[in-house]
Amino acid sequence: MVHLLLEAMSDAIEEISSKDVSFADIRRESQSGNTIIVVNGNLREFKNVSKAGAVARVLVGECWGQASTTLPLSKELYEELLEEALKRARASAKYSRKNIDLSNIPSHVDKVFQKVKEDPTTVPYEEKIGIALELDKGQKIDDRVVNTNAYLMDQKRDYALVNTVGSRLEWDEIRTLSYIMSVAKEGEQTQFNVEIAGGSGGYEIIRKINPEEFSKSCASGAVELLKADKPPSGELTVILDGSMSGLIAHEVCGHASEADEVVKERSFLTGLVGKQIGTDIVTMVDDGTLKQWGGIPFDSEGTPTSRTAIIENGILQGYMHTLETSVMMGVSPTGNGRAQDYNRRIFARMTNTFFDKGDWKDEEIIEDTKDGLYVIKMTSGMEDVVGGGVQASALKGYIIKNGERTKLVRSMTLAGKVLEILKTVDAVGNTLEFDGGTCGKGEEDFIPVSSGGPHLRAKIVVGGG
Amino acid sequence: MNIREIADKLITLSQKEGADQAETYVVLAKTSSVYIDDNIPKIADVKMELGINVKFITGKKIGFTSSTLLNETPEEVVIRAKKLASLSEEDTKFVSLPEPQQVSGNRERFYDKKTANVSSDEILEKAMLVVDSTISNGITVPNGVLRASSVDYQVKNTQGIDTGSMGTQVFGYFTAKSDKDGAVGEGVQRCWSRELGNIDFAKMGTKLQAQALAVLNAEPFKAKWEDITAVLAPSEGCEMLGNLVGSACSAENVNNRSSPWTDRVGDKVAHESLTVYDNGQSENGLLSGIVDAEGFPTQKTLLIDHGVLQSYYYDSYNGNQVGLESTGNGIRRDSRDAHGSFNNLPSCASSTLEVSAGKYSVEELIGQIKKGVYIEHFAWPQVDAISGSFSNEIRNARLIENGELTTQIKYALLVGNLYESIQKEILYAKDLQVNSKRFMPTIAFSGIELVGQE
């Protein structure tokens, strides 16, 4: 069946003969996923969602036309999509200032299907529901825990892609996740805590969880925050945990290293390759080959994923590329052309992005800090590609006094200019930690990524809410 | 088959398969869009998506599944929903799907034909009008998107609901970059409307240009100002207030006790200057429809009246738990993206949150502030709706001193707790604007800190 679909796609793409078309591709996607949500001991959602569609892209000059549909597919329909895409590309191409030639990009013919230890679809639904109920129940450790939530999700995406340089690809992606959240209340104070375990892989990810410990840790974290103080504000010596260093790697350095932002000179990292932008213990990488949440075999253009050095020993090495940006900058594509789904555009996106580890033990960094703030567990962040500004929010932290954790503090945001912050990094931990989630760019186009890093010490502005 | 025929078929099949109750939502979404990149239209696209879902109920056991029917039949989807229901645990809080109600109005009431049928050339022309009105020496438009969408949805259930609604929604997002003598700045403008014809694209470009230029003059803020007033542009203030009130008034959060306003109807939760409605029939609302995603009639619900909590908003699931009717807040759609709603169960969410306009212009409102900050753009206007705390990085702001706008600032955080700030008088300008799921003006909150790089 899939073979026949690929054949119809290939037949359609081979018939593109317009002289003004320099490149075209067709991608077919199917997504299917199971979600179980338990709230306060009750099964709130149990669902299997699926969707499938196809999208055709055509490049004329430097402008793309794109058309997608969910109608049952045939060679004729693929041809119609290409025709519609061509019409739109031509209309835009009157603004085109140059031709982008993708005819020499490498072609790939392959089938890559993810090997997982335990295919989530083979695990009985009853068992998954049982685990979700257990994860929820385990959070009820105290009367102050007023709301408990457990979320279990597995998802499979299947892709087929053909293009005009001869690529013929089929691949899949499998992800599994558990997310729990506890809300605690005492008087007028309401606080929450979350725990997440997930990645690119099968149900083995859930099997590794100790439900009792996982749930208890989440709930006790929420209860502890009820007594937490407001954090200090101003420029401080900050120790970031791996979750927070990952957030800065992703939001600030990562988005600014997406090459589409560089070729139009929007990124503050434009023109800085070869320049020292951090201390020599700062190294940052995007690596889609890792079995983390953002791992992929191919990007949405059919380029194999890769490990891309962004910063090495403080020196900016390069950027993350789509086919188009790689041709524009004369480098190899890195497999970072990603789209949310068949309805969305492809542009340069991250996969698994992280600061690499250093030599310090985590505890050594704390012991070495006289006055500082230990910032733990990211909640959200926002990119600033133009200015290189940081907005990175954390759930909690500890005041550090004379090398020891003292008061627990809650809810804070880190700010400042990342190029200044990276030049103050003086300690990098030797253990990596990753968080999986979805990343938007320009406020939308959400894709699975992970961010991560080691513990890292720097001078950063803090504001607490 | 059209969407009504598909809905009929899915319910008939569900009944045939032995469902005690069943519900289906069938939606056809179409979008035409243009993405701007480096001053030119980089991608122009058109998309069409037909999606369905089925909720199959046996006793209190519920199975939910969705599909685009690209590679499977309605029969296969119903069988899958039945299987999920059979394997599910009982949802002890489920009472029943909603019963049919009198629905008034035409399903096209919130649908604009011109927007739905916009040509690719026209949308390209509008997007380039923003670009042309923005660019000048040293100012470019690196990023932008403009899209116009239509949705047509049908809801049918075994209790007799068989209704639907149509809608249109337009979303635009553009950034401008300024560059002068090595200094760089960025402006951001968004537009939201049900009708493409209501948006002044040239004015949007002019505003974008002015923002990008203003930021060039920003100076690092190196102090800490406490207990000040923050005047927030509609795009920022409405997101913060809307998230807070929307979350605290959701019956789902109240029933599961995660809302700080649980059991507080009739209590004073804010200063008397705060009155908020949820309006599922807002003329400006992007999610407005004559029925919600469960087929229940939409309405205007008073949530907070002069600071007193009057009501929560309900979908049928949460209303049934406390013996109240739905307020038409079973929501599946998204105000920014018309596609993909069929993958969602109805959630108890706000439709359009509205506050009334004040009597002042923005300038007059600023004139009343002794010490504060006027913020046009945060990195992202977020607030933790459970605790009320926020600390947002400022991207485009000016200080207010003795009623006058003074220094343009950068590198600062606005820090506070919104549950605490709304206990103090809130001021409103008269510049009502739709932003996502809110229809609100410029808003001023007090009791807030501005933290710089000391």
Residue B322 main-chain phi, psi, to 5 deg: -120, 15
Residue A167 has pLDDT above 60, yes or no: yes
Q: Which of B326, B354, B382 is the last residue of a domain?
A: B354
In percent, the amount of chain B with pLDDT more than 90 equals 94
The helix-helix angle for B3-16 and B74-87 (nearest 10°) equals 50
**Do residues A219 and A292 share a domain?**
no
Residue B120 main-chain phi, psi, to 5 deg: -65, -35
d(CA A248, CA A226): 27
Among residues B46, B17, B29, the alpha carbon closest in space to that of B339 is found at B29
**Do residues B165 and B231 share a domain?**
no
DSSP letter assigned to residue B59: T
Instruction: Please list every residue in chain A whose beta carbon sits closer than 8 Å to the beta carbon of residue B35.
Output: 345
Global model pTM greater than 0.90: yes
Residue A2 has pLDDT above 60, yes or no: no
Q: What is the pLDDT along chain B (454 residues), one digit of tens a residue?
A: 899 999 999 999 999 999 999 999 999 999 999 999 999 999 999 999 999 999 999 999 999 999 999 989 999 999 999 999 999 999 999 999 999 999 999 999 999 999 999 999 999 999 999 999 999 988 999 999 999 999 999 999 999 999 999 999 999 999 999 998 888 899 999 999 999 999 999 999 999 999 999 999 999 999 999 999 999 999 999 999 999 999 999 999 999 999 999 999 999 999 999 999 999 999 999 999 999 999 999 999 999 999 999 999 999 999 999 999 999 999 999 999 999 999 999 999 999 999 999 999 999 999 999 999 999 999 889 999 998 999 898 999 999 999 999 999 988 999 999 999 999 999 999 999 999 999 999 999 999 999 987 6
d(CA A250, CA A350): 8
Whether A391 sits inside 8 A of B91 (CB atoms) is no
**Do residues B54 and B164 share a domain?**
yes
Residue A1 has pLDDT above 50, yes or no: no
**Do residues A211 and A256 share a domain?**
no
DSSP letter assigned to residue A229: B
Q: Per-residue confidence at A465, pLDDT binned at 50, 70, 90?
A: low
Which domain range does residue B432 map to?
219-238+356-452
Minimal CA separation from B104 to chain A, in Å: 31
Residue-by-residue DSSP string for B32-50: EEEEEETTEEEEEEEEEEE
**Do residues A64 and A194 share a domain?**
yes
Q: Does residue B78 sit in helix, strand or coil?
A: helix
**Do residues B137 and B10 share a domain?**
yes
Measure CB to CB from residue B46 to each of A64, A67, A461 and give the nearest one: A67
DSSP letter assigned to residue A153: E
Q: Does residue A365 sit in helix, strand or coil?
A: helix
CATH of the domain at A54: 3.30.2290.10
d(CA A260, CA A284): 19
d(CA B291, CA A31): 29
DSSP letter assigned to residue B95: -
Q: Does residue B54 sit in helix, strand or coil?
A: strand
d(CA B242, CA B278): 10
d(CA B348, CA B327): 10
- Taking CB atoms and an 8 Å cut-off, how many pairs form between chains A and B? 268
d(CA B7, CA B50): 12
**Do residues A368 and A272 share a domain?**
yes
**Do residues B188 and B261 share a domain?**
no
Q: Does residue A265 sit in helix, strand or coil?
A: coil
**Do residues A202 and A123 share a domain?**
yes
**Do residues A185 and A38 share a domain?**
yes
Q: Which of A179, A205, A225 is the last residue of a domain?
A: A225
Could you identify the residue written with the tokens 């400022």? B394
Domain count, chain B: 3
d(CA A454, CA A432): 5
**Do residues A49 and A98 share a domain?**
yes
**Do residues B185 and B225 share a domain?**
no
A89 touches chain B (CB under 8 A): yes
**Do residues A78 and A42 share a domain?**
yes
CATH of the domain at B63: 3.30.2290.10
Domain count, chain A: 2
**Do residues B196 and B264 share a domain?**
no
Instruction: Please list every residue in chain B whose beta carbon sits closer than 8 Å to the beta carbon of residue A72.
Output: 69-71
With contact defined as beta carbons under 8 Å apart, do A211 and A348 qualify?
no
With contact defined as beta carbons under 8 Å apart, do A249 and A452 qualify?
yes
DSSP letter assigned to residue B90: B
Bridge-partner residues for B30, per DSSP?
A: B48, B150
Tokens linked to B231: 């005047």
Measure CB to CB from residue A91 to each of B31, B121, B411 and give the nearest one: B121
**Do residues A304 and A440 share a domain?**
yes
Which domain range does residue A197 map to?
2-225
**Do residues A244 and A371 share a domain?**
yes
ipTM over 0.90: yes
**Do residues B261 and B366 share a domain?**
no
**Do residues B84 and B191 share a domain?**
yes
B401 touches chain A (CB under 8 A): no
Average pLDDT over every residue of A129-137: 97
**Do residues B134 and B18 share a domain?**
yes
Closest-CA residue of chain A to B212: A386
With contact defined as beta carbons under 8 Å apart, do A289 and A299 qualify?
no
**Do residues B182 and B252 share a domain?**
no
Closest-CA residue of chain A to B28: A70
**Do residues A51 and A103 share a domain?**
yes
**Do residues B314 and B447 share a domain?**
no
**Do residues A411 and A272 share a domain?**
yes
Closest-CA residue of chain B to A251: B379
CA distance between the termini of chain B = 66
d(CA B163, CA B157): 9
Q: Render the burial of A387-413: b for 16+ CB within 10 Å, e for the rest.
A: bbbbbbbbbbbbbbeeeeeeebbbbbb
Whether B71 sits inside 8 A of A30 (CB atoms) is yes
Looking at A334-416, list the stretches that DSSP marks H as alpha helix, in order from N- to C-terminal side. 362-367
**Do residues B341 and B381 share a domain?**
no
Q: Which of A225, A260, A275 is the last residue of a domain?
A: A225
